[in-house]
A and B are shown apart, each in its own frame.
Chain A
Amino acid sequence: MIQDYCKLRTPPSGHKPGDKEPCYKSSLCAEHSGSCSWAALRGGVTSGTVGCCGSAFIARELPSSAGLRVPWCPAASCAGASSELFTLTYGALVTQLCKDYENDEDVNKQLDKMGYNIGVRLIEDFLARSNVGRCHDFRETADVIAKVAFKMYLGITPSITNWSPAGDEFSLILENNPLVDFVELPDNHSSLIYSNLLCGVLRGALEMVQMAVEAKFVQDTLKGDGVTEIRMRFIRRIEDNLPAGEE
């Protein structure tokens, strides 16, 4: 749906150049929540308001057809582009860490530490943007992590499976992991947990909402498994208000 919309070369009817109000609503964006706005602008590049998928629209002037504005939809190509920036940057980071530390275990630890530092701050951004209330139990927490948090930051929705009988452990199954696009693990790094940053993020973020958890990868597509699986285990509730620690 979004792809077809982006191939439009002329503004939807009723819209005149210079109009700043969005005239095109969400009828094309049946699969995306929220309203879709398209703003024709006088000249140059500027950004529209939040479009589908929570990302911004940018109307771009075509060099060869002055006067026509083409909506450049992030969901079609640019979100691809900005997710590539993210994937490539993460890859460069892991590569640099592998050069700096001799063994994979140290790299794994560093990734976890970095993830933790990100997580303790990310939780604030998440709570501010998502407006979710307090979770009443670990099941609700799992739902929020998979359906809201992962969707917001990585654009994917992992599924939740394998609940332990006591309800304190579950698995997040990621069909595709945006961090590992274009990535192959070389043979001499077989014990590297490439996406270990994610475990640190989960651990740090949940610690800031009074939950001590353990997160670890039990399956990884990079190592030949069919899916990527993160096992989350609830350790205990943190009663004291720990200061936002940095390791």
Chain B
Amino acid sequence: LENTDPRMRGRGIQLLSQVLLQCYSLLQEKEVLHLVLFYENRLQDHHLVIPSVLQGLRALSMCEVLSPGLAVSVLRAIFQEVHVQSLLQLDRHTVYSIIINFMGSREEELKGLGADFTFGFIQMMDGEKDPRNLLLAFQIVRDLIAKNYALGPFVEELFEVTSCYFPIDFTPPPNDPHGIQREDLILSLRAVLASTPQFAEFLLPLLIEKMDSDLQSAKLDSLQTLTACCAIYGQKELQEFLPSLWSSLRREVFQTASEKVEAECLAALHALSACLSRSVLSCDTEDLLDSFLSSILQDCRHHLCEPDMKLVWPSAKLLQAAAGASLRAYHRVTSIVLPLLLEQYTKHSQSSQRRTLLEMLLGFLELQQKWGLVEEDESSLLSLRASICSVVFSALTDPSVQLQLVGIRALTVVGSLQGFLSPSDLELVVDHLIRLTLHEDSQSSEAAMEAAGSLAPIYPKVFSGHMVPRLEEELQSVSFSECEEESSRDHCSLQQRCLQALAAVSTHTSIVKETVPVLLQHLRKVQKGSEAGNTQGMVSVCQSLHRVALQCQQDAEGCWYYHQTVVPCLLAMAVQAAMQESAHPLLGKALIEEEVLAAMVPVISAATTHLSPELAVQSVSHVVPLFLDGEVSFLPQNSFPCSFQPFEDGECFDAQRRLVALLMAFVCSLPCNVAIPQQERLLRELLALSCSCNCPFTATTAAKCFAGLVNKHPAGQQLDEILQLAVNRMEPSLAEGPRRMQALTLLLWVTKALVLRYHPLSSHLTDKLLGLLSDVELGPAAADGFSLLMADSPDVLHKGCHADVRIMFRQRFFTNNVPKLVQGFHGAGPDVKANYLKGLSHVLNHLPKPVLVTELPTLLSLLLEALSCSDRVVQLSTLSCLQPLLFEAPQIMSLHVDTLVTKFLSLTSSPTMAVRIAALRCAHALTSLPTTVLLPYKARVIRALAKPLDDKKRLVRKEAVAARGEW
């Protein structure tokens, strides 16, 4: 330490400092005092020694036993002796760290230094350039302000020394190991600048200047900083700058082509208006909010009168942004704007102009929803009620569909303002909605149903009293006049709309109780009818019932009512139809056709998932005995000609067996904690049915039902036994025999059930599945099975029906099985290679994109190989896998651009339409790669894409036009 050679001395101190950094927590108070004095003294030493001295001080700054006064003296010494900005980056970093350590532990002492500390720091950080150090420096400044250190006369200096970095212009070097992003710097600088109103007089002119800049990033940063500042500023700070802020914001919104800039401008205006609304008025000062809004109104209102011109929307948006900030601002703006818009609506007669005006009006009314109708509104908004209503109603009767649609949206908003509509208006509203619901145009009909659905819970009496009876009447009159041949198609769609509307309006329990009987009655009637079209009719009733079920799930009372009414009724109708068919197999009842049963599944499932456990237990004790023992007593109209035995063998029970679909819908949707009576027996029956039935629908349904129950079955010996039984039955029939396909289906569903819950047996079953990929007969089906394993199934084994689904099961499946798939691909014979690729692309297709992007480099070559595979399913699923990756991993994809362009272009002439479409979409997606990568291929791609422009299929031509236009 006392060597005369500064280098040696430096190394000595370095050693000491390194030791201190390891053991600073063990030091005693006296030792620290001694060391501090030594190090302070060394600060005057040769410049080669300084870095090590600072390291030692950093170690000491972390000591808890530092005696009072030492922190101050260390800082004074550093300010005095060290010229920080001539040090290396690392050493400057050390100095900032020392300060941060002291600020964390010795706040009171440092405050004792007064403004000297601030001044010392300002001098120290002046000229800092390194982003790593800047992050620390900004943090220190933020703490200086936030923790109330004395700034003294140095406010402007402190502002200068930080604001010189605004707006941040920094691009991290490639492969930057420190990981500092531009965004980090922007946010930490913004936190400094927007931390105190004391900066306002310096900051606001700077922001105004930067808003005028040509650089979009500078504009955005200024606007976001302004928004942040408004959270802490008051009238006083803003007053002087309001006119120029407004003119800058106005200019940007009126002129910009960028949506981002526009959105930020509107956010800033909103913040300004909110800030001005917050301040308390004293009687003698001018109301700044009022004068600010006046200037906005003055500049914008005349544009609102020209609905054809470009500035109309920017003006409306500015006014809405300002009005949305507070109730006071809203009143000030709407008291002028609403009457103006209403007047303009009557002045203009073209429907496109009226649409624009009404859309703006709608925007202002939507803002009102934020506050609801408040007492004091009575004067302003309610006085306009008559004219608002007449404008909205006139829009609803306009021949232009676009205007109607806006009218319907306005109706929804007006209706949702409690107490705004008078009872007579309300009846008119419902009449309009009924008329529009049954209107030929599907767009306005759908919008009207949507509106009825959202207004019904607010006015349940009006809707159940007026709308439901009218729709029922309409439904009946339509069904009676069905004999007229030529108009039957119109009737069919009218009937469809009635059914949809009945479902849409069922958003309140009291209405559900009216509509459900109507729908069930209609279902019975369609079933009795004999026309060929009644399958479709029944499916649409089921769809409506499903929609009602979804809408009343959240309400316990409505849900139980629905379950009690609908489930027994559907079961009774199905059982009866199945028995009639068993008796007279030739008659063929539409109700138990696969299509109709498939439509009933979601109805029963949705009626069951949200039941409370107690009620579910009650229901399950009826339904399971029905299927196991033919216990029909709980069904309405339960006098049946013969017994119901879906699990019995015998040809004539085929129809009854199909009803297992309804059993599946019910038991697989029950909450997990509901015990199922005779579960073991049920599982055995289902297993037997799935392996032995010849009808694919029944076998698949039984397998799904089995899987659904196994997935929720509590772990333990019972589960192991039943699984062992399943494996024992599957393995011999998979190996050979006439029912290999059924066995594969069962294997797939059981594997899925176990993969979802991470059951240990799942890997054994998956390996079996992988083995089947090389089977000539079952290989393609097994490959498609991978999509079943990874995808969400719509009716069983998903979260909605309370299945045991672990998070990240897909990632787990991916890591466990993809290496095996790749290995299998390389070892497989040429005739089954496609199976492995197909399986792989199914797995990749369903994998979350972030995981896929990280695994991409290793898999991409295989995927590109898959594109050359001649199987169109492989091509299609590989293309749909690659398309999103082009957007999400452009860097990696850019490396293979040559191969990608070639393969995509060659696939655009594939004989399969779906492949051509997918290839063109990929060619379109290529345009998101960096321009420099694409330019060499531009001419070639544009030439090649000319051919599909003349494709014989319209959908292909459409994609070709989009892709070629983009290129």
Real binding pair: no
Chain A interface (Cβ < 8 Å from any Cβ of B) = none
